Amino acid sequence: MFYADELFLFNGLKQNEKDEIISGLSKPADFKKGEIIYSAQSFPNAIGVILEGDAFAVSNNESRLYMRSFKEGTCFGAAAIFGKDEPYVSTITAKTDVKILFITEPQLESIFLKYPKTSLNYIGFLSDKIRFLNKKLGILGCNTAEDTLFNYLNSISDKNGVAELPSNMTLLSKSLGISRASLYRCLDTLENDGLILKEKNIVKVIKNEKNH
């Protein structure tokens, strides 16, 4: 189980400061497997921290692009706070039973004011988000199906280059504009070229997009 005091927001704080912040937050919420956590029109103005279980996000446009998975210790919901009342950018669904800690916008404001270090941590988190979105945009400009798939895998991989393929490969093929048969051929080509390693639905990206 991921413990809330390990959250990126609290990096650099003393344990008693972490404990004080956590004591002022709401109790974690539970979601069942398959339950929608965030949708375009239904979401709390809060960031969510996965304490137990897994979730995944797909885009809310027509492509329904599989964007990423959320494991224990990861966060989502930055697009739901500190902005105008706009539809949420993706649909987040529980892949397993999950336990989530929500930190609301007013709670974040209070934390930032009392512990300025947390605001710097949050800015770093948002910077990582921007880089992630830039990778997503790079997918759209690819010339070949292999490049499209490779950049997609690179965009959803973690810091170790590990990515989990979505269970619905037909949906992924439509999202990327590649036929299902071509999608599997591209996976084989990337593996044969030494760019990825694949074991069932887990892929490890060997080379990043700069070297490709």
How far apart (Å, rounded) are the C-alpha atoms in residues 120 and 194? 38
Mean pLDDT, range 105-110, rounded to an integer: 94
pLDDT of residue 134: 62
Residue 90's pLDDT is 86
| Whether pLDDT at 140 is above 60 | no
Percent of the chain whose predicted confidence (pLDDT) is above 90: 44
- What pLDDT is recorded for position 210? 42
pLDDT greater at residue 46 or residue 174: 46
Residue ranges of domains in the chain, CATH in brackets: 4-134 (2.60.120.10), 143-205 (1.10.10.10)
> How confident is the model over 178-188, as pLDDT tens digits?
888 999 999 99
- Identify the residue with better confidence: 138 or 112: 112
Cβ atoms of residues 48 and 54 within 8 Å = no
Quickly state the pLDDT bin for 160 (edges 50, 70, 90).
Answer: confident
Is the whole model's pTM more than 0.95, yes or no? no
Exposure class string for 133-154: b at 16+ Cβ within 10 A, else e: eebbebbeebeebbbbbbbbbb
In this predicted structure, the answer to whether residue 61 has a pLDDT above a threshold of 80 is no
